[in-house]
């Protein structure tokens, strides 16, 4: 017989995996697991998922990512890429130009030299997410729980038990935190992070330039403050660029506080007018830049992915690419265990994921710190070394090819979904 209070309690819902955070990384992971038949709950704080019809405006959204060819293959595997391409909001770039605005150092990369069709694509984050949402909505074993946050977390014999702030209870052998750089779930699990402020903020906006972008991603290092003009083609118009300027807080204040004409003027001048006159078509937004790396990615029945595990300076456009790779590797390890009837949330299974991902993520975080030191320095010796180094490297095609393979994500043992 059930008592009155037991009858009032919502039943505990059981899932093969619960993913908290339906950003690009959490949603991709949900898709990868559910395609194999796993029953997945996707818990998201925002009230409703984005749909492609709602996010294709005339002006591109300010938040974009440079997606590597490896990420493109993963999104193709998930069925999302074709939807992104259909709405014509993926802009390929075949060239990359990087220069030191304080010297003569420069380096140019091309897809031909790298032996690939493209170096990557610039895509609005909302487009990628909406396309992933569309695919995940077709998978019958995914349950979306939107407008919900986790309020309590406990370890049980069956794995993890969690209570959402609306009172619903979930139990699962595999709980994944994909809830971004300031992950509340990571904190609830007691995992600490190594945190380092980059003493910079990123100012982002969208501009229309006088000259076409020529399928080229450009980045100038201006006294240690990298300014990127990332190509965007909107309805066939190839004069748009997404701007990311990583700079001091005072400068970010100025840039976000000034009139659009003054912002356009400042961007044009800083960029040596390489694309002619620059006209902002959106407001300028700012984001603090803090590199974080979780001390551990896994516990029994618990894993961190994406920005919840690591957040990185945007100067090399790697953040979401690393996160998508986390999702792909974690899914590969978990599905392999699930298929052979092994405990897919066990520490042994999850540690294989951590071993495969930590080194790659650490290397990239370290590289960004190195870049910042090298390009932030005004010491004459370092300034000379980086200018000579860049220009010399520009002549060395085999070395450039190696760098390009790294930057395009072709590193180490790739999961099958990305090959």
Tokens 């008592």 correspond to: 3
> Is residue 332 part of the contact set for ligand FAD (CB under 6 A)?
no
Between 25 and 111, CB nearer to ligand FAD: 25
CB–CB of 136/123 below 8 Å?
no
> Is residue 24 part of the contact set for ligand FAD (CB under 6 A)?
yes
Q: Which of residues 259-298 bind ligand FAD (CB under 6 A)?
A: 287
Least distance from ligand FAD to the Cβ atom of residue 13, Å:
16
Count of CB atoms within 10 A of residue 297's CB? Answer: 26
> Is residue 317 part of the contact set for ligand FAD (CB under 6 A)?
yes
Least distance from ligand FAD to the Cβ atom of residue 148, Å:
7
Q: How far is the C-alpha of 102 from the C-alpha of 116, rounded, in Å?
A: 31
Binding marks (x or -) toward ligand FAD, 243..262, rule CB under 6 A? Answer: -x------------------
Scanning 20-28, 267-275, 335-343, 395-403 for contacts with ligand FAD by CB under 6 A, the matching segment is 20-28
Strands 225-234 and 237-247: antiparallel
Q: How far is the C-alpha of 391 from the C-alpha of 99, rounded, in Å?
A: 9
Is 393 in a helix, a strand, or coil? helix
> Is residue 30 part of the contact set for ligand FAD (CB under 6 A)?
no
Q: How far is the C-alpha of 130 from the C-alpha of 54, rounded, in Å?
A: 9
Percentage helix, strand, coil for the chain under 3-state DSSP, each rounded to 5: 40, 30, 30
Least distance from ligand FAD to the Cβ atom of residue 16, Å:
19
Between 38 and 252, CB nearer to ligand FAD: 252
Compute φ and ψ for 73, nearest 5 degrees: -65, -40
Residue nearest to ligand FAD (CB): 23
> Is residue 307 part of the contact set for ligand FAD (CB under 6 A)?
yes
Between 18 and 275, CB nearer to ligand FAD: 18
Residue 44: beta bridge partners?
146
Tokens 């080229």 correspond to: 216
> Is residue 120 part of the contact set for ligand FAD (CB under 6 A)?
no
Interface positions with ligand FAD (CB under 6 A): 20-26, 43-46, 65-66, 149-150, 178-180, 184, 202, 204, 244, 287, 306-307, 314, 317-321, 323
């Amino acid at each position: 017989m059930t008592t009155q209070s037991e009858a009032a309690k919502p039943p505990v819902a059981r899932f093969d995996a619960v993913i908290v955070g339906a950003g690009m990384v959490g949603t991709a992971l949900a898709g990868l697991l559910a395609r194999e038949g796993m029953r997945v709950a996707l818990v998201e704080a925002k009230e409703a998922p984005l749909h492609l019809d709602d996010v294709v405006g005339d002006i591109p959204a300010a938040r974009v990512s440079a997606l590597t060819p490896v990420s493109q293959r993963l999104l193709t595997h998930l069925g999302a890429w074709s939807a992104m391409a259909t709405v014509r909001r993926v802009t390929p770039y075949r060239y990359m130009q990087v220069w030191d605005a304080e010297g003569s150092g420069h380096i140019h990369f091309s897809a031909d030299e790298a032996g690939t069709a493209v170096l990557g694509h610039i895509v609005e984050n909302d487009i990628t997410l909406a396309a992933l949402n569309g695919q995940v909505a077709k998978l019958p074993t995914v349950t979306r729980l939107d407008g919900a946050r986790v309020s309590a977390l406990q370890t049980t014999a069956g794995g993890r038990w969690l209570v959402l702030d609306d009172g619903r209870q979930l139990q699962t052998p595999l709980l994944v935190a994909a809830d971004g750089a300031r992950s509340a779930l990571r904190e609830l699990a007691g995992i600490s992070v190594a945190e380092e402020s980059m003493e910079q903020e990123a100012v982002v906006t969208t501009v229309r330039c006088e000259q076409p972008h020529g399928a080229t991603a450009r980045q100038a290092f201006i006294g240690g403050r990298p300014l990127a003009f990332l190509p965007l083609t909107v309805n066939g118009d190839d004069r748009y660029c997404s701007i990311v300027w990583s700079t001091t807080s005072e400068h970010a204040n100025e840039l976000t506080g000034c009139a659009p004409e003054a912002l356009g003027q400042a961007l044009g001048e800083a960029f040596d007018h390489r694309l002619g006159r620059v006209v902002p078509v959106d407001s300028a937004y700012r984001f603090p830049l803090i590199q974080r790396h979780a001390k551990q990615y896994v516990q029994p029945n618990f894993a961190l992915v994406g920005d919840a595990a690591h957040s990185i300076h945007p100067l090399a456009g790697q953040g979401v690419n690393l996160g998508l790779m986390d999702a792909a590797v974690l899914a590969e390890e978990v599905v392999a265990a699930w298929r052979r009837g092994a405990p897919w949330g066990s520490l042994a299974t999850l540690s294989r994921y951590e071993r495969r991902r930590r080194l790659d993520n650490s290397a990239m975080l370290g590289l960004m710190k190195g870049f910042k030191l090298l390009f932030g320095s005004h010491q004459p010796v370092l300034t000379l070394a980086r200018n000579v180094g860049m220009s010399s490297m520009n002549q060395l095609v085999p070395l450039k090819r190696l760098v390009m393979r790294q930057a395009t994500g072709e590193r180490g043992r790739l999961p099958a979904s990305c090959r």
